[in-house]
Each structure stands twice: as C-alpha cells, then as structure tokens.
Structure 1
C-alpha cells in the first residue's frame, strides 16, 4: 500500500508541506485550492448528480478551525459550480486572512452558512443527501478536541446519510482508526494516505497529483499511476 513511508506520519506530512511552501514556492492558498478542487471532483465521482435523483443534491460541509476547514470551503465552492447545493457549517471562523478570503468567496457564491448544527439527527438526514467532514486534520491534537467539535462528532456518528471525509476521518488518530471517530463512506486522502487509512474500508480516493517528483522520491511516497489527466485516483 502507498502511504507515508514511516511512522512519523504527522511530521512527514508537515515536512512535505513546509518544503512545498519554502523550497518549491507553492503558496498556502494555492495548495488549499488544489486540494479543495480535487475533493470536489472526488465527491462528483463518488456521488454523481445522476445518482442523486432529480433534485439537486444538498450537501452539508462542516468545516473545522484549521487548514482542513479551508479545504472544505474550497470544496463547497467548486461543488456549487458543479451544480450541487452545498450548505456550510463553520462554527469557529479562523482569523487568518487567507481563510477569510475563502469564506467570502463562498458567501459571494450565495452558499448559505448555518448558524448552528441541528442536534436532531433526523433533521440532518431529511435536509441533506451527504455530509462532508472537513473538521479535524492530521495536525489536530485529539486529546484536546473541545466543543463544538466533540458535539459535532457525536451527532455525525448517528446520521444515516453518507459522510465523506477530507484527508482523514475526524476523530481518528493519524496512525490508526479510533473508536471515537466517525465512520465515513468515502475518504479523500491528500498528498499521500495517512497511516490510519490502512484500516479504512470504504471508497478511498487519493488527491495529490501536483507533487514534484523530487519530493515523491525523497519521501518514498510510491504514489500510484493516475489515470489519463485525472487529478485523483481511486485506491
């Protein structure tokens, strides 16, 4: 299986990102845009419009406070362009100007933002066809997950509609699956699968086709061959 080649997964993912930003002159906004766009494409492959019945599929995108949340915002904006109907729940907005820019872009696309998440699971099941989990990323310290995120995870563990997770399922440890985490139907790994993805049994996509060859080699990522011109691959 292809995954970051040793156990320092958290460190390696961060090291790759630092190198992309510092040595290869990628911008943070550029990386988030690439990842968010690829996530939206993965959603269209896993849940094509044609399979969603006649009405436009409503998608609830739940965004955490860090970079994963911003990737969720970009994903929502592209889904809107692909004629899905996203709604965003972004309870703790980042003060980072970059993240604020992504928020404004969504607002300008007339994507609604929820002021609270219904705790009645039935309301979520009835109102949405799909949840996108862009809540907790590899950088999250699971020992310190506070409200509102701990409550959101409790709610999401009970919903019946499919969940698609960005980079790793929220509540999972980067090294292994966790009982406290949610159980998505779809996982979209970014750059390279995290070690915990080896215990994921659903539909698994990898989005990371922009990585310079030198980085792939240096970190022994053993990435698969992407088909044609696709920006992602189903593993």
Structure 2
C-alpha cells in the first residue's frame, strides 16, 4: 500500500469508518502490546524500553506501554519530544498513574532492558532525522537486544525500505507490526511480521484492495509469512 493510499485509508477510517483518532491509537497500541507478548513473553524478561517519537507512532507506543504494564511487564518510556496535544498529554498521564518511568538517557536505558519497542517514526515520516533521534536509531542498529518496530522501522521509507546510507541504513528490527495493512516496505523486512488491523470493515478493505487476515479468538494481531499469508498455529 503506497504512501498516498495509506494516508487516504487513515482518513477513510476516521470519516466513513466513524473511528476517532484516539480509538485507532488505542487499537494500534493494543495490537503492538499483544505482538510483544507473543514474541517476548514476561518469562523472557519483563523490562521493556518503549522509544516514542512526537507523532502518531509515538502515541501508539504510549498506549502499548500502558498495556504492557497491565500485563505485568516493567516498561520504561523514552519520549524526548512530548506532544502538547491533549490526547498525548492524557496518554502520558495514564502512564504516570501506573508509575511507568519516563527516562531521558536512551543509551543508559537500552543497557538495562530486555526488549525494545521502536515507536519513533511511522510510515509517513520523511525528511531529515533531527536530534536526538539519529543517536537513538544508531543505537537500535547496533544493539543485540531484540527490537519490535511499530508499522515501519524508524528511518525506513514506505516504498524503498531502509535508506541506502546513513542513519538507519543497517537497522533491521527483529519484529514488525504492520498497522491496518502492510506497507510496501515489508518486502525489505526479514524478521517476524504481524498485522494488527482487526477493526477494518470488509467494505473499506475491498476499496483499498487488501485482504483482512483471519484473526484467531480474541487476538488483535496475526503473524504472517513473508508472502503475507497467515501462519498456521
């Protein structure tokens, strides 16, 4: 799904689909939290570092951190550029009420975690990566700690995948959670791939020419193979 179509789909969900932005963010963050639980259960280590950018991708990360806390994990949030929008302020307050710590030193937090959620930049990101995020993405490139990226590995383009050189060119997370529907960048991704879009009406999926996978039970994510078909469990 190209950038223009993906952006149009988001608009469609909030118009004819009748979803609000906070509903979609809640569903996205819930999907991410379930994917993390699937690939990194609490028995593998409860410390989760959630790196959040200032936009919607970061909001998804804030929601995921709240759910992870409720699951029994010990999330820590790196959120250096707080969005002043009321929605993001409320998401931050919900984490504060759960005593989820916000940290300023990403490198130090990375050295003291078991798993990372990359919610820095989403599929619509373009332009120059500004401070403090170049160092964050470089650290994600170099760490041996598994990383789960939200909708797009940070710094990747929706069509071309990782940049040819510079920041993010060697960033290959272990897990990707595609929200609503996979983006073209997935053809460059080699890790475990989940789709979280159990809210898309069949009529909207048909309009945008993608297939909603079969979700099992109460799952909000489904793992798919590189070709896009759901894995049989």
Same fold (TM over 0.5): yes
Structure 1 segment 37-48 matched on structure 2, within 5 A: 37-48=30-41
1:29-67 per-position Cα deviation (integer Å, ceiling 9, x unaligned): 000000101110110001112333xxxx11110000100
- Aligned match for 1:25, one of 18, 24, 28: 18
Higher relative CO (Cα under 8 Å, sequence separation at least 6) belongs to: 1
Contact 2:49–2:110 under 8 Å retained in 1:
no
Q: How many residues align?
A: 219
Look up the SS of the partner of 1:157 in the other structure. Answer: helix
Contact 1:125–1:160 under 8 Å retained in 2:
no
Q: CA RMSD in A?
A: 1.3
1:182-223 per-position Cα deviation (integer Å, ceiling 9, x unaligned): 211011110001100112111111000110111011011123
Look up the SS of the partner of 1:144 in the other structure. Answer: coil
CA distance in 2: counterparts of 1:83 and 1:229, whole angstroms:
19
CA distance in 2: counterparts of 1:10 and 1:60, whole angstroms:
28
Is 1:51 matched with 2:26?
A: no
- Aligned match for 1:228, one of 204, 217, 221: 217
1:165 maps to 149
1:79-121 per-position Cα deviation (integer Å, ceiling 9, x unaligned): 0000000000000011111111111111111100002322xxx
Contact 2:52–2:62 under 8 Å retained in 1:
yes
Shift of 1:224: 2.3
Look up the SS of the partner of 1:216 in the other structure. Answer: helix
TM-score under structure 2 length normalisation: 0.90
Structure 1 segment 1-235 matched on structure 2, within 5 A: 4=1, 9-52=2-45, 57-118=46-107, 123-124=108-109, 126-141=111-126, 143-179=127-163, 180-181=167-168, 182-235=171-224
Contact 2:77–2:103 under 8 Å retained in 1:
yes
CA distance in 1: counterparts of 2:111 and 2:84, whole angstroms:
33
TM-score under structure 1 length normalisation: 0.89
Contact 2:177–2:193 under 8 Å retained in 1:
yes
1:120-178 per-position Cα deviation (integer Å, ceiling 9, x unaligned): xxx4554100111000111211x321111112111221111111100010011111221
2:228 maps to none
Contact 1:60–1:87 under 8 Å retained in 2:
yes
CA distance in 2: counterparts of 1:222 and 1:75, whole angstroms:
25
Contact 2:200–2:212 under 8 Å retained in 1:
no
CA distance in 2: counterparts of 1:68 and 1:217, whole angstroms:
25
CA distance in 2: counterparts of 1:117 and 1:232, whole angstroms:
28
CA distance in 2: counterparts of 1:161 and 1:227, whole angstroms:
29
CA distance in 1: counterparts of 2:60 and 2:181, whole angstroms:
16
Structure 1: gaps (5+ residues)? none
